[in-house]
Amino acid sequence: MKEIATAILFIAAAHLFCVPASDDIQARNFDPVVEVETIEVQPKTKGVIELQLADWCAPCRKFKASGIIKELEEAGWTVKYSSDIARKYPSFRLTIDGKSRTWSGYSSKSRFYSHLKSYMNELGYDNEGRKINSTP
């Protein structure tokens, strides 16, 4: 009897955590509608953004629906899909001229662009993709 109760609890927990949410991302209120300022990040160097996304992951579906992938491609970024970035979803890897930065999680479009800008600066590039002169 104890084994049956344990099995039922396991199945119920698996159903709660593993069944994907509705495919209709727009019908769910993740964030309030706000005006988003897109930060121009034009890679004049060899800029690559790797994405680790999963169809069952709600933040990943939200990221796909946000239009960021299309914006990055239109700005000249090479967008690749990977499955070995991190153990969390969604995960991102920015690579410019052989140097890279990795981060996980997605909350909003403006936060993604803020991370991207920050990591570009850490790697020594401005928002236009130009190498920042490191000498004072």
Please give the pLDDT value at position 103: 93
Query: Thinking of the domain 37-136, which architecture would CATH place it in?
Result: 3-Layer(aba) Sandwich (3.40)
Please give the pLDDT value at position 5: 59
Produce one character per residue of 23-61: b if its CB has 16 or more CB atoms within 10 Å, e if not.
eeeeeeeeeeeeeeeeeebebeeebbbbbbbeeebbbbb
Please give the pLDDT value at position 124: 86
Locate 79 and state its tokens.
Answer: 């967008």
Contact (Cβ atoms closer than 8 angstroms) between residue 92 and residue 104: yes
pTM more than 0.85? no
Please give the pLDDT value at position 9: 59
Q: List the domain boundaries for the chain.
A: 37-136
pLDDT in tens, the chain (136 residues): 666 656 565 565 544 444 444 444 444 444 444 444 555 555 555 689 999 999 999 999 999 999 999 999 988 899 999 999 998 999 999 998 888 899 999 989 999 999 999 998 888 888 777 777 654 4
Neighbours of 136 (CB within 10 A): 3
Distance from CA of residue 120 to its chain's centroid?
Answer: 15
